[in-house]
Amino acid sequence: MTTLFSRPGVTVDAEDATLQVVGDVDVALAADLAASGVTWLKQAELTSLTLDFSRVEKASSAAISVLFEWLRTCRQREIQVQTIRFSAPLRRLASLAELDALIDHPSATLAV
C-alpha cells in the first residue's frame, strides 16, 4: 500500500487497482486530496480501478467532489471504474443527491 496523502484524520492510499480514502474529508482538504489521487491516476498504468470511500464516516459533499474529480480523470485516461464503495453515511448523501446510477453503475456514461 502506498500513502498518497496524509493529514491528521485523513489519508489517501493506493494499492493495486484501488484508490482508497480513509477518514473524514472536509472542504479545506478536498482539493489537495483530489490532486493526490489525480497525480497517481495519471502515472498509474491501469485499465480498471476501484474507488473506495467505505472508510469515510462523515457524509460530506467535499468527499463527493473528490470522487467526481477522480472520475473525470479516469474518463480522460480511459480507466474503467469497476466499483465505487461508500460508507453508509456517504451512500445516503450520494443517494439524496440522486447519484444512485453512479453508485450502482460507475462505468455508465454520466456527466460528471
pLDDT, position 110: 45
Residue 109, in any domain of the structure: no
Residue 20, in any domain of the structure: yes
Residue range of the domain that includes 59: 2-104
Residue range 31-47: mean pLDDT, rounded: 96
Give the Cα separation of 100 and 48 in Å (integer). Answer: 20
Q: How many domains does the chain have?
A: 1
The yes-or-no verdict on residue 108 having pLDDT over 90 is: no
- CATH number of 13's domain: 3.30.750.24
pLDDT, position 100: 75
Specify the residue for cell string 460528471: 112
Residue 111, in any domain of the structure: no
Residue 57, in any domain of the structure: yes
pLDDT of 40-97, one tens digit each?
A: 999 999 999 999 999 999 989 999 999 999 999 999 999 999 999 999 999 899 888 8
Backbone CA torsion sign across 60, 71, 12, 29? negative
